[in-house]
Amino acid sequence: MLNIATDTAIDPIALRRAFGTFVTGVTVITTRDAEGNPRGMTANSFTSVSLDPPLLLVCVGKAASSFDAFSNSGSFAVNLLHEGQIDISAMFASKSPDKFQSVNHDRIHTGAPILTDSLTWFDCTVHNRVDAGDHVILIGQVLAFGTSPSAPLGFCRGRYASVKDPLPVDWLASHGMIIGYVIEAEDGILLRSDRNGGWVLPTAKQRKTDSRLMLDDGDALSLLPENTFLYSVFDVADSDPGYLIYRARLAADGAADALPAGLQFFRISDLPYDLIPTRELRAVLRRYARERQEKRFGIYMDSGDGGRVAMIDGEAHAWMQGPQG
C-alpha cells in the first residue's frame, strides 16, 4: 500500500499502522509525581541513544494521564517487560488508579519505581526533554540498570509478538555495581538530592579515586586520596546491581560551603534517615555514625545470614611506614 505526502495530509490511521510494522519490545516507564506518588504507563517508543555518556530515550504522549508527572520529574525508569508480563502491559496501559498495587517495585537509585520482576530496567535522570508534536521525547542518563535471561515481550501490528531463542550462547546477565561515597568534612556527611524529596549518597563510576572524583552527574569533588577506603559491599534485595561504598574526606580546597547544586552536608547527628529511600543505605549511614563516634571503622561484606564486618583498629598509615617483617 502506497502513501505519498501531497497537499493532502497523511492519513494518521494508516501512518500508525505503518509505524506498527516495526517490531518493538514493550516497556513500562515510571516516575514519581510532585507528591511522591508512583506513576507509570506502557510505552513501546524506546531506544538506546549513547554508551558514553549512557543515554536512552522514550516518548511520552501529551494526552497521557501521567504526562505532567513525567514533564516535571527529574528522573524516570524504563522497565522492559518479559513474555510473561502481558497483564502488566495491559494494566499500565489502562487508567487504573492502583497500577502499582499488584507489582513488585522498589527504589534503586533515583527514586523512580523499578519493576523488580521485569526483563530489564534502567534507572535514569533526565538529560534533556525535546518537544516533538503530540509527544515529548525524554532523554535519560542511565545511572543504574539490571537485566535477566528471560525472553522479551514483543509487539507488532498492534498485537503482542513472540520472540524465539532470545538468549545467545555464553550471554550473561549484566552485574554492574553502583559505586557510592560516604564523604565527610568536619562533622558532616555529604548527601545528594534524588530530586524527589529524598537524599542518597553521591555516586561515581570510579572504584578507586585520586584527588579528583568525577560524580555521575558531571560534578567534581576534591578528596584526600589517602583517606579513601572501601567501606561496604552489598546487594539490594530483588534487584541488580549491588553497591560498593567507599568512605572518603573532602580536601581542604573543596570547601563544604561551595558545593554544586543538589549536594548538601548534614551533621552526623542530624542525618535525614527518614528521607533516605532504601533500608540498606540507612544502615550504612547508621553504622558509619556509630563507628565514627568509636573511632574504629570496619569493612562490611554482604552474606545470606546478615553479613560480616571486619573491624580495623588504629589510624591509617603508608604501607612503607608500617612494621617491617
Whole-structure pTM value: 0.55
Question: Could you give the count of Cα atoms lying within 13 Å of 55 in the half-sphere of its Cβ?
Answer: 13
Per-domain residue ranges for the chain? 12-162, 177-321
Confidence of residue 23 (pLDDT cuts 50, 70, 90): confident
What pLDDT, on a 0 to 100 scale, did the predictor assign at position 322? 47
Confidence of residue 324 (pLDDT cuts 50, 70, 90): very low
pLDDT band at residue 181, thresholds of 50, 70 and 90? Answer: very high
Residue 42's pLDDT is 92
What per-residue confidence (pLDDT) applies to 96? 81
pLDDT of residue 256: 57
Quick: pLDDT tens for 108-144. Answer: 778 899 988 888 899 999 999 999 888 999 999 998 8
pLDDT of 253 > 60? The answer is no
Question: According to the model, what pLDDT value does residue 8 have?
Answer: 58
| pLDDT tens readout for residues 260-296 | 888 999 999 999 999 998 888 899 999 999 998 888 8
pLDDT above 70 as % of the chain: 81
Residues 6+ apart with CB under 8 A from 219: 260, 263
- Per residue in 88-108, pLDDT (tens digit) is 999 999 888 788 888 888 887
The pLDDT score that the predictor gives to residue 314 is 64
- The pLDDT of residue 190: 94
Which pLDDT does position 295 carry in this prediction?
A: 83
For residue 255, what are the β-bridge partners?
none
Choice between 257 and 160, residue whose per-residue pLDDT is larger = 160
pLDDT digits (tens, 9 = 90+) for 42-85: 998 899 998 888 999 999 988 888 889 999 899 999 999 988 89
Residue with cell 561515597: 181
**Residue 205: its pLDDT value, please?**
72
Give the pairing of strands 229-234 and 297-301. parallel
Handedness of CA 118, 124, 130, 134 (dihedral sign): positive
The CATH code of domain 12-162 reads 2.30.110.10
Torsion sign across C-alpha atoms 267, 269, 275, 281: positive
Q: Could you give the CA distance from residue 6 to residue 176 in angstroms, rounded to a whole number? A: 50
User: What does the pLDDT read at residue 138?
Assistant: 93
pLDDT tens for each residue of 3-16: 555 455 778 778 77
Mean pLDDT of the chain: 81
pLDDT for residue 290: 92
* CA dist list (Å): 148 to 117, 168, 283: 9, 13, 27
- Reference 301, options 317, 290, 287; nearest CA is 287
Assigned fold of 177-321: Nucleoside Triphosphate Pyrophosphohydrolase (3.90.79)
